[in-house]
Chain A
């Protein structure tokens, strides 16, 4: 039993978000969220980013609009979300019902030496998302609340935004394929079928 005020562990969080994932489509932001999603199990319905910082949430929007019958979950970090903070306004305006954005907030730039991000000084991403107009926007501090986000990602009426406070721990890298063509092709083949292989 963990202390109620103890910070969540990022891989526990991601394992729960991806529990019984079904045909969930997952975009992972660069750095540790990529490794976390991969640690939960590499999957053709994952599109893990190795660069293009700031892309994750907007890839999620484009995908959610293209596949309105599928559920899309973006798992990214606080630094990555901050880099494209305006995307929260764009997503709030578009109101994709099938999109959930889960920010793993360790208040650090984890890949570059654990420098503090703006959230360490109290910048409230969930409040920013809510102010943009994303009505279901929460700060998450317990595993039970993570389960709530997991359920919203699968069945809720989006867009959903969660700022999940996690421990600033550095874990072993679990890496998916790095080549963009492989990642793109396997994802499209899984979602769209064999026709996706042909120009």
Chain B
């Protein structure tokens, strides 16, 4: 399992194959008509972010905190554009009150959340928000789906995008650490 955020390889001597699911997610988001991408970077999103960086049709906006993106994409919708918010699970906590906006206004909001505090987590500080991510989103009216297999990520994103943009509701896709690969700080510390 590759950790695409770290330069270290996976287990064994052969380098891991680069995951292709971020490229499929990029195509799914393009097909969904996404024009604005708001993000606080996460290693798990790095390949997808690079695709958008190279895409002149898409406005890629780096936020100082994730709730900015919830508001920004509400503005995009008011102006007739579709967007996506890329964030790590820890950033979901930052969004809580701002999620009132898509909930009460029946606006689409598509969030793609890379999980921490999940399968194989090494850092105990990631556990509280990682374990609370789904509950927080659902408490605020966001429809949550989850992908734990690389082959299912793009179709899960596609389904959430259709749901968000066709029914005008907030929807989030959680991408599990089983897909992303868990960081191993002890291994990194030895380098």
Contact = CB atoms under 8 A, between A and B. Distances in A.
Nearest to B65: A86
Contact of A54 (B36, B61, B98, B104): B98
Contact of B74 (A54, A59, A87): A59
Interface in A142-196: 179-181, 183-184, 187-188, 191-192, 196
A93 B62 contact: yes
Contacts, number: 122
Nearest to B101: A52
B28 interface: no
7 contacts: A59-B75, A66-B78, A90-B62, A90-B63, A187-B78, A188-B80, A191-B79
Interface residues of A, number: 39
Nearest to A86: B64
Nearest to A132: B64
B109 to A, nearest CB: 11
Interface residues on B, range: 35 or more
Contact of A62 (B36, B105, B167, B168): B36
B97 interface: yes
Interface string B43-77: 00000000000000001011111011111111111
A188 B71 contact: no
B81 interface: yes
The binding surface of chain B is classed by DSSP as helix
Interface string A27-65: 100000000000000000001000111111111111111
A89 interface: yes
B101 A62 contact: no
Given A62-B78, A187-B78, A191-B79, 6 more contacts: A62-B71, A62-B74, A63-B79, A66-B80, A86-B64, A90-B63
A124 interface: no
